Chain A
Amino acid sequence: MSLNVVTLLYLVASVFFIQALKGLSHPTTARRGNVFGMVGMALAAFTTAALIVKLADSKAAGMVYVFSGLLVGGTAGAIMAKRVEMTKMPELVAFMHSMIGLAAVCIAIAVVAEPSAFGISAKGSALLPIGNRIELFIGTFVGAITFSGSVIAFGKLSGKYKLRVFQGAPVTFSGQHTLNAILGLGMLGCGIWFAVTQDWTPFIILTIIAFILGVLIIIPIGGADMPVVVSMLNSYSGWAAAGIGFSLNNAMLIIAGSLVGSSGAILSYIMCKAMNRSFFNVILGGFGQDGGTVAGKQEQRPVKSGSSDDAAFMMSNAETVVIVPGYGLAVSRAQHALKELAHKLGEKGVNVRYAIHPVAGRMPGHMNVLLAEAEIPYDQVFEMEDINADFKQTDVVLVLGANDVVNPAAKTPGSAIFGMPILEAHQARTVIVNKRSMASGYAGLDNDLFYMDKTMMVFGDAKKVLEDMGKALDNL
């Protein structure tokens, strides 16, 4: 197989990758898109295998290493994909970003050690062209930052680890930004040193600095900003792949890497916009306190609270119900109980729909997946822009474990969340809010919605409350 054929096959694979993303424009075409992606990847791998056999003069003993790596990694990946719970998707995605980052670093080390094996230096010579050295420097540091940053993000998302850097609360110290800047400059200096000399010493130092930087840039970001962080690391992993593509002069890697890079960047932008914060505001961090502070500062205002039975009665008498699920729903794994309740309401002739805020859940689109898992039809699930106008005509809105995304304070100039796009639940005729307590959301703000005359609070764990409502509906 000539190199031209190899490159053309890589081009076909690249087109398949674009098709894979394009398919995601609608749920019905998405599965076919995913098949395109798999075929493209298989094509890329088989073409490379054929190239290896040719370059090794058909003595492809080295393929043993490829197969063993493939077997170990592939098995691990398949098992994880099969077992992971949908609530744990953000952790899985963060974990997979770290894999890409580390793989990019490993490849870069191999390239520096033996560039001739990749056909980018003359046979028998270990001297790289200066352009490739710069590209290797970029690929390595982006990969290393992606790896260590994703490890921290993984820890913050899972919240299971005691270590301070894995806690949701941001880690800040004085001189943090200065330290980052010094490390960044040091890394750049080593990069230039490496580009000039192709020496191992600067390469090793810059890799270590990049690993440290990855940790330092993620620790000041609070747990609640994780949707932005996960998207951002998604973007980085793409740029790392593109960087490796540059160093290996491989167009397919550059194309796939850029697709991923721009995808992650767009998702970060969407998430920032949904929180009405600038990207730099999130990255510089120190704002998002996880879990929320208890609103003890405000004077106690009276709220109307009711039982699950009352809520069930109100909903069964309504014509239209809109359900606003928030992260609290995911935490108590109540999506199946929610589906049961919605099904019973549907049988009573109530029109039930769902309204999803872009930052509901812990990563972009997370809530949609959780609802889909509970077999809630996607055509009952609406994005914020599509349903906001309908709240005025809605009889009952059921807010489940959401807070800031329905806070009408976002409409009041001067409020901390002023300008943030919200679901206009306060426009509905009646509002039922389920929360565990009166603790405020992550922005630390009191929510006027809870004190409105038309609002009824139902305190308790979302799953328990939803099950009780379901039982109450049966008895009506």
Chain B
Amino acid sequence: METISPTVVNLIIFVLAIYVGYHVVWTVTPALHTPLMAVTNALSAVIIVGAMLAAALTEGDLSRWMGTAAVALASVNIFGGFLVTKRMLEMFKKKDKPATDTAAKAGAHK
């Protein structure tokens, strides 16, 4: 029997994923568009998977060094992207408690 080429399977995944992405991203509130960009930076760094294979499984110097460099570049984004998103999202926390604290402090100073 004829087998389906992996490219065709990949294409199916690709089209469906764009569809999911399109619908999910439209639900993102405009106030969080900057964190969205930062977290997508981290997500596209999932190519670290390819980079790890290149760094660990290749034998030639060229591909090994390219792989190691790619691991380093992608991990900049993984750590940088997720951590900076976390930092930004912390700022969007409801600040009821601290607000009353500062108000109380301001009162004490007067």
List A residues at the B interface (Cβ < 8 Å). Answer: 10, 13, 17-18, 20-22, 24-28, 30-31, 33-34, 37-38, 41, 44-45, 48-49, 51-52, 55-56, 60, 62-63, 65-66, 68-70, 72-78, 80-82, 84, 86, 89, 92-93, 96-97, 99-100, 102-104, 106-107, 109-111, 113-114, 117-118, 131, 135, 230-231, 234, 237-238, 240-242, 244-246, 248-264, 266-267, 270, 356, 358, 363-366, 368-369, 372-373, 375, 377-378, 381, 383
Contact = CB atoms under 8 A, between A and B. Distances in A.
B92 A372 contact: yes
The 10 A-B residue pairs whose C-beta atoms are closest, nearest first, are: A365-B33, A69-B71, A62-B56, A77-B80, A73-B75, A262-B21, A77-B79, A81-B83, A364-B33, A258-B17
Contacts of B64: 62, 65, 110
A372 B21 CA distance: 26
5 contacts: A37-B43, A49-B52, A73-B74, A241-B46, A270-B33
Contact of B5 (A25, A104, A131): A131
Interface residues of B, number: 83
Main secondary structure of the interface of B (DSSP, over half): helix
Contacts of B13: 251, 254-255
A106 B48 CA distance: 11
B66 A99 contact: no
B66 to A, nearest CB: 4
A103 B47 contact: yes
A28 B66 CA distance: 40
Main secondary structure of the interface of A (DSSP, over half): helix
Most buried by A among B13, B35, B43, B75: B43
Interface string B74-104: 1111111111111111111111001100000
Nearest to A236: B44
Given A78-B79, A89-B34, 17 more contacts: A24-B28, A25-B29, A27-B29, A30-B89, A41-B43, A48-B52, A70-B71, A82-B87, A96-B76, A102-B73, A106-B67, A244-B47, A258-B20, A266-B25, A364-B36, A372-B92, A375-B95
